[in-house]
Amino acid sequence: MNEEKPSPSSDFQGLIKPPSFLGLRVDRQSLIKHFFTGSAAVTILTLFLIMYSLLKEGTGFIPTYQFELKVYRQAGLEFCDFIQKPLTENTALLSKLNRAVNADTATLTQKAQVRRDALFLAKGRVEEKTARLREAVTEAVETANTPPEKLAQARQALNEANAKAVGEEAFPDVYSAEERRQIASDLGTLQPDAAEPPAIIKTLSAEFAEQDRIAKEKYAGFLEAVEAFEEATEPIVELHDGIAELAKSTKEAAVQQHMAEDAKAQLLAAAESAKTPEAKANFQKEADATSLEAIDYKGKIEPIVAKLPEYEAMVPTYVAAIKAAMEKVPQKGETKESTALINEVRKQLPKHLTHAEESPALMKAWQWDKPIPMVQALTAFLFGGDWITNSSWQDFYGVVPLLTGSLLIAVIALVIALPLSVGAAIYTNQFASPREQELIKPFIEFIQAIPSVVLGFIGISVVGDLIKETSNVAWLQWIPGFPVQERLNMFNAGLLLALMAIPTMFSLAEDAIQNVPRAFSEASEALGATKLQTVFRVIFPASLSGVFAAMLLGLGRIIGETMVVLLVAGNRIAIPDFSDGIGTVFQPAHTLTGIIAQELGEVSKGSSHWQALFMVGILLFTISLLINFVSRKVVKRFQLPKI
Amino acid sequence: MHAPATSALLENPFAKRRSHRETYEFIVRSVLRGATYLILFATAAIFLHIIVKGSPILFQAKAPFINVEFLTKLPETLHVLEDKQGHIYKTDPKGADAIKHQLGDNLRQEKTISYSGGGILGPIVGTFLLVLVCIVIALFLGISSAIYLSEYAKPGKFIEWVRLAILNLAGVPSVVFGLFGLGVFVLAAPVFTNTPLDRALLVIPLGFTQMSFQGWDTSVLSGAFTLAFVILPVIITASEECLRAVPMGFRETSLALGATRWQTIWRSVLPFAMPGILTSSILGIARAAGETAPIMFTAALAFKDKLPWQGEAGFGGVFTESVQALPYHIYTLAARIPQNEYSERAQYGSVFVFLVLVMTLATASVLLRRKLRAKYKW
């Protein structure tokens, strides 16, 4: 506005005759207006640019992924995966059988094992504590002309330190008094150059070996069955590996060719826009030099498909072998755990066998040249159960494991946060004294300012260990999922996210309760209702739409949160195993937001992985818009009458 | 009552006894109160834990009472050396060489812990720069957009639609803004240069120089712009609300007295809306300071041994260099290095300083609101 002459009457003048600027008559008011319009336009445009850039990067994903899936099919990798699927199932079942047989043998060996392992652990700790003195002794021994008294001195110091360290050990209650004495004397005189391990260790190791032998004898049938179960797959694995090798080389050739095509297209484009004829001719020449040999998919797929009859012949043998192996598996295990595992295997076995039996038919119906429509790339992204990247076989971008992780964590957080925040809102608004309100409201709003990375850090450094220690407490073992395997899991993340969502949900719910017209409660009290009846039958129901909107916005905050889940959720990309029931919440998971934060830094721009991450961004964007939309609708639909 | 007569005499028959209804009410109230205080207790426990673990790192008993070294040194690798007599030396890389030389054969073992030595000057400077530039961008664009929307824009379908879009953007996850910042500011924003890069989307020759859309790389500017756009929807919505809350009569009176549109806004609308605008802005800035996801790909580095103005670009580096930032530093310390007794100092120290910083901003906004509200009332 400095283009104007500063005169006291300029405003007045401006009203009558706009001053001149660059020969144009522009008045100051419209200049100011244009200034604001301009900056608003910049802001709004950039905000729209967000959606545009997301869409631009993300939508490129679909043709790229379609191409990758096409190669996956044409090169025959898909064909190989028909065989791989029963093999993977077999591995899963086998691991269950192994766990069952281990649980059974452990009934015999466990005691000896505990006795041996506790001693080993104690020895390790003692050695660690006295490491410096041990090294001193070793050095004294190795140095050629150490005076004997110095060596003896070093040994003496080490023995003293050993004895002290052994004294600090708390041994489990599995040794007799005599054994304890022996342990103390053997560990107390540990010397680094001793020729043999201490006698007590030898004794306990022998004891364990003996028990192990007895157990192996007792469960010989079961062990053999498990071995047979594993061996049944061997010919199939061999066949699969052979054709997988072929398919992979075709795929590599296809990728090479695709890259060459891109390079050629770039060269041609460069030739098109070249400034001088020489440069143009140069580019053209280079482009012509890149030979593009069409890949003979048909010829390459033939040897792969030719193996089908061989595989078909193997399947009945395999099924028979598995059935025979299962015959040898005992009906009931020795322990609860093994019985449960065996029952699980028996339950899943028919499905596995049908999968195996059906696979040749599926492979016969499979056609290498069946086209993959565009939509399939999208559905493979939205409903695909695998998120596999940087794989040597095939990358898959299926968002389901991430989505289930995000949603499950959100549900955990909501289950914790909703009762707490709504309860707190009712209490603060209806029951608390004004003084209490003055304390509670700002305090809860203050939580909002805690940065999420700080909460994530607390999750790693404090809450994780707290959960793990609590889960080992004996009288809490009835809780499903206890004892917890992983320190960082969905429950941990849900707990912290609940704390993050509480301020949002609390203030919105409190507003909703506050907005219930006074006349409602007055009418209720005039009819003789008590305070509780008024609160729970009149005020709270009237504010439900607001409380629901509060829950939705809290949910939006939880799903969109990145740092807490990245640090605390455990980052395991797999659909949670729901067979644990409620205990599922103690498994680690990965999330939509976490995957972007974790992987975006490492991918190259424009690759299919990069585009897939932008697609995840679009998905998050859509979810948050949906949540906002629904909450607005709910508030509008159930608006209270103005009284 | 069938109680013995003596005890009946001792009891006051008129004493108020709790009815079932009252007991029930008491229980429900206690449960609700319990929920409320559980939230407060959990929060207080987190604050206390950080204060108890963090303050001994920042404060000390001797003068000058503050651990100056922690605040004025750059992060560096911590070397822990142990000699054969069991003495432990904690030192920086240079000191480690000296001690190793001095100990000679007497050295027993050496451990290195990344990022855990030195201080946190780099992250503090980076966060300050990011927040400072972010404030300028967000306040300028935010408040002027709000003034446009509330004072100048003609009400209509289009403006309603824009308003709704902005409101919805307020709920978009910050990591999505990070994606956008990477795609737009880091890789596609315009720069003036004589030597445009190959990856530029578009190059416009301007005669004396060229405008190349090649992005600002990972830099303070990219990060600050991304952060600004994370909080802009909130600032615009809140500021507009404050502006619209100023009664129409104020504007009408001013215009009726012959004031121009701008005089009206400047003298009789903005002063009354200012407390609200400032409060929401500072809260927004506190949020921006605490965000990690948007700067992960746009501005922050895990390690940098120079301050932004010590690079080749000289003082201009405060805009164009990548920096370390406190939230990202905390992430690195928490997730990228093994946890042990030696890494705790840097972890809790950074968390404590960061929390103090963010909480100061949040408290400032509350105090400011109180003060300004007392001044402007209608």
pLDDT tens by residue, A116-155: 888 888 888 888 888 888 888 888 888 877 788 888 888 8
CA–CA separation, A557 and A406 (whole Å): 12
What pLDDT band is residue A643 in, cutting at 50, 70 and 90?
low
Would you state the pLDDT for residue B376? 66
B245 touches chain A (CB under 8 A): no
Contacts (Cβ under 8 Å, ≥6 apart) of A194: none
CA–CA separation, B109 and B132 (whole Å): 44
Express as a percent the part of chain A with pLDDT over 90.
Answer: 23
Is the per-residue pLDDT at A182 higher than 90?
no
Residues written for chain B: 378
Are A242 and A360 in the same domain? yes
Q: What are the CA-CA distances from residue A463 to residues A253, A326, A460, A470 (Å)?
A: 50, 44, 6, 10
Q: Do A443 and B40 touch (CB under 8 A)?
A: yes
Would you state the pLDDT for residue A535? 92
Q: How many A-B residue pairs are in contact by the CB < 8 A criterion? A: 253
Q: Do B39 and A420 touch (CB under 8 A)?
A: yes
What pLDDT band is residue A24 in, cutting at 50, 70 and 90?
low
CA–CA separation, A261 and B366 (whole Å): 61
Distance from CA of A139 to the nearest CA of B (A): 11
CA–CA separation, B162 and B145 (whole Å): 11
Are A127 and A185 spatial neighbours (Cβ–Cβ below 8 Å)?
no
Would you state the pLDDT for residue A21? 57
Q: Which of A474-483, B30-39, B140-149, B181-190 has the lowest mean pLDDT?
A: A474-483
Tell me what the pLDDT averaged over chain B comes to.
85
B232 touches chain A (CB under 8 A): yes
Q: What are the CA-CA distances from residue A40 to residues A44, A487, B229, B285 (Å)?
A: 6, 48, 13, 20
> Taking CB atoms and an 8 Å cutoff, what residues of chain A touch B341?
none
How many Cβ atoms from other residues are within 10 Å of residue B109's Cβ?
12
Would you state the pLDDT for residue B9? 59
Are A204 and A102 in the same domain? yes
Are A402 and A591 spatial neighbours (Cβ–Cβ below 8 Å)?
yes
Would you state the pLDDT for residue A479? 81
Choose, out of A454, A536, A568, the residue to mutate when testing the contact with B (most B CBs < 10 Å): A454
Looking at the partner chain, which of A132, A451, A499 has a beta carbon nearest the beta carbon of B358? A451
Ordered by start, the domain boundaries in chain B are 74-118, 121-375
B2 or A162, greater pLDDT: A162
Q: For the segment A577-602, what is each residue's pLDDT rounded down to a tens digit?
A: 887 778 888 999 999 999 999 998 88
Are A55 and A194 in the same domain? no
Q: For the segment A227-246, what is each residue's pLDDT rounded down to a tens digit?
A: 888 888 888 888 888 888 88
Is the per-residue pLDDT at A492 higher than 90?
yes
Are A462 and A572 in the same domain? yes
Are A553 and A504 spatial neighbours (Cβ–Cβ below 8 Å)?
yes
CA–CA separation, B287 and B298 (whole Å): 17
Q: What are phi and psi of A362, to 5 degrees?
A: -60, -40
How far is residue A511 CA from its own chain's centroid?
36
CA–CA separation, B32 and B194 (whole Å): 67
A639 or B300, greater pLDDT: B300
Are A457 and A496 in the same domain? yes
Looking at the partner chain, which of A14, A50, A452 has a beta carbon nearest the beta carbon of B290? A452
> Which contiguous run of DSSP H or E holds residue B122?
helix B121-147
What pLDDT band is residue B44 in, cutting at 50, 70 and 90?
very high
What pLDDT band is residue A637 in, cutting at 50, 70 and 90?
confident
Residue A631 placed within a domain: no
Is the per-residue pLDDT at B86 higher than 50?
yes
Q: What are the CA-CA distances from residue B55 to residues B65, B115, B327, B333 (Å)?
A: 11, 20, 18, 18
Q: For the segment A185-241, what is each residue's pLDDT rounded down to a tens digit?
A: 888 888 888 778 888 888 888 888 998 898 888 888 888 888 888 888 888 888 888
CA–CA separation, B359 and B365 (whole Å): 10
Is-above-0.90 flag for pTM?
Answer: no
How far is residue B365 CA from its own chain's centroid?
13
Nearest CA in chain A to B171: A624
- State the average pLDDT over residues B88-110: 78
Domain housing A561: 400-514+547-609
CATH number for the segment(s) B121-375: 1.10.3720.10
Are A221 and A236 in the same domain? no
Residue A76 placed within a domain: no
Are A179 and A295 in the same domain? no
Helix (H, G, I), strand (E, B) or coil at A472: coil
Q: For the segment B247-293, what is each residue's pLDDT rounded down to a tens digit?
A: 999 999 999 999 988 899 999 999 888 888 888 888 888 888 889 99
Are A183 and A267 in the same domain? no
Q: Do A431 and B32 touch (CB under 8 A)?
A: yes
- State the average pLDDT over residues B74-79: 82
Q: Of A590, A586, A514, A600, nearest to A550 (Cα)?
A: A514
Q: How many domains does chain A have?
A: 4
Would you state the pLDDT for residue A274? 73
Output the CA angle A209-A215-A221, nearest 5 degrees.
Answer: 135
Q: Do A597 and B175 touch (CB under 8 A)?
A: yes
CA–CA separation, A279 and A260 (whole Å): 21
> Which contiguous run of DSSP H or E holds residue B205?
strand B203-205
Would you state the pLDDT for residue A502? 94
Express as a percent the part of chain A with pLDDT over 70.
Answer: 95
Q: b/e for A1-35, b at 16 or more Cβ within 10 A?
A: eeebeeeeeeeebbeeebbeeeeeebbbbebbbeb
Structure token pair of residue A306: 């030719």
Are A252 and A366 in the same domain? yes
Residue A326 placed within a domain: yes
Using CA atoms of B362, B368, B371, B376 in order, give the dihedral in degrees to the nearest 10.
-130
Are A77 and A394 spatial neighbours (Cβ–Cβ below 8 Å)?
yes
> Taking CB atoms and an 8 Å cutoff, what residues of chain A touch B354?
451, 454
Residue A492 placed within a domain: yes
Are A426 and A573 in the same domain? yes
Would you state the pLDDT for residue A19? 56
Is the per-residue pLDDT at B199 higher than 90?
no
Tell me what the pLDDT averaged over chain A comes to.
85
Is the per-residue pLDDT at A2 higher than 60?
no
Q: Helix A28-59 crosses helix B174-181 at what angle (to 10 degrees)?
A: 90
Helix (H, G, I), strand (E, B) or coil at B113: strand
B22 touches chain A (CB under 8 A): no
Q: Do A28 and B262 touch (CB under 8 A)?
A: yes
Are A404 and A361 in the same domain? no
Contacts (Cβ under 8 Å, ≥6 apart) of A555: A410, A414, A501, A627
Distance from CA of A483 to the nearest CA of B (A): 23
Are A216 and A247 in the same domain? no
Is the per-residue pLDDT at A9 higher than 70?
no
B340 touches chain A (CB under 8 A): no
